[in-house]
Structure 1
Amino acid sequence: MKNNNQYYNFGYNKFGPFLYGFSRWLDKNLNKHAYDKVFFFARDGYMMIKATKLICPNDLGKEYVYFSRKSICQALLYDTNTLEDSLRYISKEKYISYGKLLEYFGFNYKEAKNICLLNEIDIDEELEFTNILNNKTVKKIYSLLKEKINKKSKNQANLLKQYLKQISFKGNIAIVDIGWYGSMQYYLEKFAKMHNIPVHITGYYVGIEQSDNVIGNCYGYVYSKKNLKRKKDLLCCFGLLERLFQSREGSTLGYRLEKNKVVPTLDNYEYKDNKELIQHIKDMQVGALNFVKVNLSNKLENMDLINPLINAGKSPTLSETKLFKDYYLMDGSKIFFIPQKAIYKYSIKEFVHALSNSPWKTGFMKAAFKIDFPYYKIYSLLKK
């Protein structure tokens, strides 16, 4: 299905086969078990449930629900008593800003900004995660805010418990998400145990290296704990993959009551003011779903379906990096996929920091240096 739109074509030719293969694999595995419900997690489950419902239009019991690492962690924090204990659920990156830390503790941007002003802190200042427990300012802020953190957390725990009851999150269920380490499954298992919710969770993911803390089974389409051969293939471009799968809505911050019903509180969508980027994403997703529709009767099951997208992620052409020149993730501040200026305008330290943060490292290097070079091999060496 040819189209002059380069974003549509990328979606059809690269993302489409990957989405189709994942959905066929998922459907095949779900049919082996009698799950009471199958939950697709916002936001990464958006394209997954659309494609799966194309493949099995009459299949009931599938539901798109609102969870995020943040929303579940919020509901667990009240059970912690020390700074070290409170950080057990945070994503361990190399750096974390004060704004991101305060967001993790349950404060919205306006609240975090006020806290930083009162304590004469730059909200965007980044801290090395390995030194965070020894940081006197962090210790002081946690001590001052501990009571508020626990109160906010207790409120979210009550709402999350109601939300789980509302969606019938019990019995033998399956969850579907993009994956990586299974932390969401672990947090839900922990929360369910704390609140005596009778549930057994099995996770289905694009790729998963199951944490030892996870109780239920985890299955991965591209890789899993028993076979991690292609893990680096995905993680070198995880941001690109997530953006293709994600819905065009903000992430789940928490929950609130609305007319006696628990509803998610969503963050602002990162690209809400950029109609051009939104249209690009729509075009790629329409292209991918059209690939699924065209091949419904073919029942392709070859694992080679993953290669067009993975190869674009590992060894992108310069024109492919240009498609995503304005794309970024929000993690306290904008973290761009590829460089936003010519390489000679970076200091060495600034360039290394930008590359380290990039969610598409091979694309970042290709866009920066432009020449043909084994960037994926460099990435693999850096990850050893």
Structure 2
Amino acid sequence: MSLQEELKDILAQTNSLAKKAQEEKREFTDEENDQILEWKQKADVLRERIRKADEANEAFKSLAAGGDSQGKGSPVEPARTAVAKSYGQAFTETKAYKNFQSNQPHGTPVSITARGLHVKADPDPLSTGLPGAIVPQVLPGVTDLTYPQPNTFLSLITLGTTTSQFLKYRQLVSVTNNAKKVKEGDLKPLSTLSTAVAEAHAFTVADGIKVTNQELADDGVISSLIDSVLTRNLASYKENLVLNGMGGTDEPNGILNTAGTLQIPFDTDMVTTVSHAITQLQQTVPGIGVQAVVMNPADNETLNLMKDKNDRFLSNAPFATGPFTLFGVPRITSSIVPQGKVLVGDFHSVQLLQKTPLSILAFNQNEDDARHNLTYVRAEEEYLLMIREPKRIAVAAIAGAPSGNASH
């Protein structure tokens, strides 16, 4: 068994023990606490051995290459997978970036290519001291309202990978449920699916910024710019594509422009309308788990400020803390959702599949940038969008929702 497999086995045993304790709604026993501490010590030793093995492997590669660590010409990173806690960190850990950084301030012309960037989860999820740690462990499919994590619209849908440039897929329109109890020898029931053929075409999303060569040479500065600006802008644009599409031929339609979603008309006020949406979803798709209510921040504010006849807030008071829900369903805001509309439902059937992992390129091969010591940093990735079962999502019209006191 390799070192990585040993570490994975320890983490799997730890998670299994934590899941068991959570299902039994109890604290860890003394024996289990001792076991966890023992596993933690073994995991630390394995991580150190893995780190040393990785360093030795990199040293061997450098020696085998003749020790030419500086290289000649433009540092171009070959297509490979770089893994770190953020895309900015993954970029600054590539050989191409390290070569550029070591050649400063004489590293022009700039040409850095980092392909196949991936980020990884917290390596020690049981440690509350590490950034990104999740406490407590939450079972799959369960929303933790006691210790809520920051939620975005993209966190609701299914994210995956693909190798296809174009796909024809079956979009589920309706299901006839004929399940029943049968006796031995009886004819077994047959449920029917009504489907329609839909198409998914790969599309590229990209954005770029100009930075000074000094900013580019500082790994902390360029890493934070990539994480706080480029990846944020890409995420916002992907959210817009998933919701609204592009509107052109062979381009994604988006949820709001896909036929088959449940359309809920306005009735009385925002709360009543959303209630109708939840009810109609549950009647149309038996057993559905309503995942979230997604609304524009302005409509969310209207909901937060609704009061009863005695001028008391119906939702959490302005200075209160706690989960923001509607009929027990988490509320998530998105500025991409048009004001006056609310999306309610189970968004797992919306699939955003990554065809080409995030690549970050930095170059200044033009006269203007070279003369001003500027470098263009570009991030891009490629996706396919599939909306498998539109009727699991309801689009409710709340344009007539009152902004003043409610009559509740």
Please give the range of the TM-score, normalised by the shorter of the 2 chains: under 0.3
Give the TM-score taking structure 2 as reference length: 0.24
- Between Structure 1 and Structure 2, the one with more helix by share is 1
Give the TM-score taking structure 1 as reference length: 0.25
More relative contact order, 1 or 2 (CA 8 Å, 6+ apart)? 1
- Between Structure 1 and Structure 2, the one with more strand by share is 2
